[in-house]
Structure 1
Amino acid sequence: MSFHRHAMICAVAAALGFTAASASAVDVRYALWDSNQMPAYQQCAADFHKQHPDITIKFSQIGWSDYWTTLATGFVSGTAPDVFTNHLAKYPEFAKNGQIVDLTSYIQRDKVDPSAYANGLYQIWGRDGKQYGLPKDWDTIGFIVNMDAATKAGVTLTDLQNMTWNPKDGGSFEGIVRKLTVDRNGVSALDPKFDKTRVAVYGYQTPADINMTGQTTWSFFAVSDGLQLQPKPWDAKYAYDDPKLADTLRYLASLPAKGLSDSIQNTKALGSDAMFVARKVAMVPEGSWMITYFKQNAKFPTAWVPLPTGPLGTRATMFNGLADSIWSGSKVKDQAWQWVKYMGSAECQNRVASRGVVFPSLKGMAEKTVDAQKAQGVDSSAFLTMAKSKTFLPPIGDNGAQVDQVISNAVTSVLMGKADAASTMKAANAQVNQLVRD
């Protein structure tokens, strides 16, 4: 071939975009459910692309309610994302079905250090020597309080930060909830004249997104009273029949009857977070991932406070962590791993921490997030307080979707006041223990 002909072919190829780099260019499709986190990871993707010009990250954000069904459909149809944000309650099934990649060989090859992550976050994503996710963040639970309502009721921030709870009389927690609950005549639930049939503001609301973990609904109360739901991850024996859980559910079910909370039926329709933002509720439990939501939507002074101290003499919270997993059907696994590894790196996690949306998984990053949030006018230190309290993992075992359905139905019927707590949870526990052994 003459030099001129070669040059002409190269010029035409360049004009059409067929450069050497683009010939090997790869798109890695990445899915997540949290729109609040998306800008931080888009920034990470832009930084990543500068280092890997042949890899472009294509995002899809799907809300939680549709996320898992979309993913399941993608697994079957062969259109699932190459990389996706995964959840501890969901991954056992994906691993069992061979739908996610064991990352062990990549981790060993690239010398990723498991000890760099906050305690327990890495290990929980492994089973039988296989690793199914690289941790990206962690979360705990706290209460968010309408401080206008608190001030009006004579409740101080110190009162809120030092609440105690027990299932018999509710402790100082219930005393504060009574002060915060006001009927349409402005009478608080401490007053004998309080009209529980015409409540203007409920003092507390149990969320209606009920599941097998009880993350934001019942787990923190029950564990602070001594419940141990599962001795260790993958243990094929749950303790949903523990009387401590029945006591907790019975207590939470009593709040609507006293006029201190709205019914679970109404809360399902409205959403406890929306009720708080609309000033219909003065205090709700939520996860640290919701800090940005409330900052943007609550148009009144708020405060995050730690959960109450229970009969055990300690506060308790689920310590949950998300991870990124690779779909086993991906055609670009090596490039997908580069992206997963980058999201777990200090460079990307610094970006995430500086946005103050979530607590990244690497040790020392949470404090950076708290500082970033403080600069935005939010004190999120309550979540760090909770991380240093009694923490527990969500229940992890096989047949999670079926277990979730059984427990959700049982707990919902108890909280609606339609079923006896002890007998209902005993029957449900027998059913789920059979499921995890199958």
Structure 2
Amino acid sequence: MRKWMMGATAALAGVGLLAGCSNGSDAGGGDVTLTYGVWSQDETMQELIDTFEADNPGIHVELQVSPWNEFWTKLQVAAQGGTAPDAFWMLGDKFQVYASNDQLLPLSDAISDAGVDTSVYPEALVDLFTYDDELYGLPKDFDTVGLWYNKELFDAQSVDYPTSDWTWADVRKAAEELTSPDESVYGIAAPLNRQEGFYNTVAQAGGHIIDGEASGYDDQKTQAGIAFWTDFIADGYSPTLQEFADTEAVAQFENGSVAMYYGGSFYAQRFYDNAELRDKIDVAVLPAGDERATVINGIQNVGYAGSEHTEELEKFLVFLGSEEAAAIQAETGAVIPAYEGTQQAWVDAMPEFNLQAFIDQVPDGVVYPVSANTAAWNALEDEMLPDAWNGAKPVSEVADELAAAMNDALAKE
């Protein structure tokens, strides 16, 4: 599994990311104000800030919320222009771009000085936010991927529910049995998804997306992980890419037209809030291929290298990665907090679902594959892989061509 990791690793009125990092002390009081950029807000965020401020008199934190569809554009411009927030949320697939351009505050020394034991977080998340042996953040929350299934549809065809012992062969057998002759119900959804789809099965096959500075798409094991999905469409057990373009895969699972869906833990709250769906579905760990694996991803709190208050910023970032902060987040049930031992509140928040399945897979977590310019080869995946999903070309041919194009892109990083 380590091979996989080698490449890694409601807006507020009048407030936006471009407001930038604080540039001095508050008038008359000598206090410091830090800015904190996020893409969503609830009472938990303010509770975190209030708790930190109570323990750190003289340090104030101003929350800046930008909607998801604006957050990254604003952050890119602000980081380049020297006006980024002092602290902000970061995702693994974006991280190396900022770290490699010296826009993030190195935190290894601050984490060590604070006595933080990073083993309390999933190892894959720590690896994901490490660049050139330097750690730039502490995990906030994480998500893994599970096999969601519709119990009603399974019962109708007398198919046994998925268990932790399921393998790829079991998924395939169930998909065949659950697919109706008139295709009003498909056994499984096989969309062209990275985090929830083929990145998992590539790892389960023993393959890899990127190894150092080289593509793994020309590896036969990688190609087997892709063929896991394309075979479902070719055999008529899944809707086609065009059908997914018309109605996204998760929506087809929700409306009962597909019986199984590889979906992230982040869908738990959405499914739970759907009163008509809640009692019909459940989730299990991902079926095993040659290996057990699930993509693990999450949000980290990072700091801006251009902040004028690095000492105070380091204190805030260390707090955000603490057990106390994780416990506050766990109370909402919205996300799985990254700190070990604080996840039970999330599991208990939706007892109708076997949410423990997502926690149980943490030891099998593999890092979402990234590099310093992930966007370049992600674009190549988007451009070339549909030919395999549509059956226009064999998986091996598409993957070999993708590997060559990806290696060219990596050589330019």
Q: State how far apart, in whole Å, the 2-side matches of 1:149 and 1:408 are.
A: 32
Q: Residues 79 and 147 of structure 1: is their aligned pair in 2 closer, same or farther, counting only changes over 3 Å? A: farther
Mapping 1:41-52, distance limit 5 Å: 41-52=45-56
Q: Which amino acid aligns with 1:423?
A: E
Segments of structure 2 that go 5 or more residues without pairing to the other structure are: 1-25
Q: State how far apart, in whole Å, the 1-side matches of 2:199 and 2:340 are.
A: 26
Q: State how far apart, in whole Å, the 2-side matches of 1:409 and 1:38 are.
A: 37
Per the alignment, residue 422 of structure 1 pairs with 396
* Deviation readout 1:105-164 (Å, 9 max, x if unpaired): 43244333333333343343222342222222232210111222222222233x454432
Mapping 1:181-196, distance limit 5 Å: 181=179, 188=180, 194-195=181-182
Tell me, yes or no, if the aligned pair for 1:201 and 1:282 is still in contact at 8 Å: yes
Q: Which one of 31, 51, 65 corresponds to residue 38 of structure 2?
A: 31
Q: Which one of 86, 92, 97 corresponds to residue 90 of structure 2?
A: 86
Mapping 1:68-147, distance limit 5 Å: 68-147=72-151
Q: Residues 80 and 267 of structure 1: is their aligned pair in 2 closer, same or farther, counting only changes over 3 Å? A: farther
Matched, 1:378 2:353: yes
Secondary structure in structure 1 of the residue aligned to 2:197: coil
Per the alignment, residue 409 of structure 2 pairs with 435
**Higher Rg of the two aligned structures:** 1
TM-score (norm 2): 0.83
Q: Which amino acid aligns with 1:429?
A: A
* Deviation readout 1:345-391 (Å, 9 max, x if unpaired): 111101122322222222222344323443xx332011123224x43
Secondary structure in structure 1 of the residue aligned to 2:123: coil
- Cα distance, 1:94 vs. partner? 0.8
Counting matched residue pairs gives 384
Mapping 1:30-429, distance limit 5 Å: 30-32=37-39, 35=40, 38-52=42-56, 54-63=59-68, 65-157=69-161, 159-165=162-168, 171-181=169-179, 188=180, 194-195=181-182, 199-208=183-192, 210=193, 214-231=194-211, 235-297=212-274, 299-300=276-277, 301=279, 302-310=281-289, 312=290, 314-374=291-351, 377-388=352-363, 390-429=364-403
Q: State how far apart, in whole Å, the 2-side matches of 1:240 and 1:178 are.
A: 28
Q: Residues 416 and 61 of structure 1: is their aligned pair in 2 closer, same or farther, counting only changes over 3 Å? A: farther
Secondary structure in structure 2 of the residue aligned to 1:84: strand
* Deviation readout 1:294-322 (Å, 9 max, x if unpaired): 21136222101111122x2x432123343
Segments of structure 1 that go 5 or more residues without pairing to the other structure are: 1-17, 166-170, 182-187, 189-193
Per the alignment, residue 4 of structure 1 pairs with none
Q: Residues 334 and 298 of structure 1: is their aligned pair in 2 closer, same or farther, counting only changes over 3 Å? A: farther
Tell me, yes or no, if the aligned pair for 1:121 and 1:135 is still in contact at 8 Å: yes
Q: Which amino acid aligns with 2:325?
A: C
Tell me, yes or no, if the aligned pair for 1:277 and 1:298 is still in contact at 8 Å: no
Root-mean-square deviation (Å): 2.6
Q: Residues 269 and 340 of structure 1: is their aligned pair in 2 closer, same or farther, counting only changes over 3 Å? A: farther
Q: Which amino acid aligns with 2:166?
A: M
Tell me, yes or no, if the aligned pair for 1:31 and 1:81 is still in contact at 8 Å: no
Secondary structure in structure 1 of the residue aligned to 2:116: coil
Q: State how far apart, in whole Å, the 2-side matches of 1:77 and 1:89 are.
A: 22
Tell me, yes or no, if the aligned pair for 1:136 and 1:360 is still in contact at 8 Å: yes
Secondary structure in structure 1 of the residue aligned to 2:184: strand
Q: Residues 274 and 78 of structure 1: is their aligned pair in 2 closer, same or farther, counting only changes over 3 Å? A: farther
Q: State how far apart, in whole Å, the 2-side matches of 1:262 and 1:66 are.
A: 32
Q: State how far apart, in whole Å, the 2-side matches of 1:147 and 1:40 are.
A: 34
Secondary structure in structure 1 of the residue aligned to 2:171: helix
Q: State how far apart, in whole Å, the 2-side matches of 1:249 and 1:99 are.
A: 35
- Cα distance, 1:280 vs. partner? 2.5
* Deviation readout 1:71-119 (Å, 9 max, x if unpaired): 2233244443332221222111111112211123432443333333333
Per the alignment, residue 191 of structure 1 pairs with none
Q: State how far apart, in whole Å, the 2-side matches of 1:338 and 1:350 are.
A: 18
Q: Which amino acid aligns with 1:205?
A: A
Q: State how far apart, in whole Å, the 1-side matches of 2:27 and 2:100 are.
A: 42
Q: State how far apart, in whole Å, the 2-side matches of 1:40 and 1:266 are.
A: 38
Identity of aligned residues (%): 25
Q: State how far apart, in whole Å, the 2-side matches of 1:229 and 1:96 are.
A: 20
Q: Residues 223 and 100 of structure 1: is their aligned pair in 2 closer, same or farther, counting only changes over 3 Å? A: same
- Cα distance, 1:30 vs. partner? 2.0
Secondary structure in structure 1 of the residue aligned to 2:36: strand
Q: State how far apart, in whole Å, the 2-side matches of 1:122 and 1:257 are.
A: 38
Q: State how far apart, in whole Å, the 2-side matches of 1:152 and 1:66 are.
A: 45
* Deviation readout 1:370-415 (Å, 9 max, x if unpaired): 23443xx332011123224x43222232222112111232223321
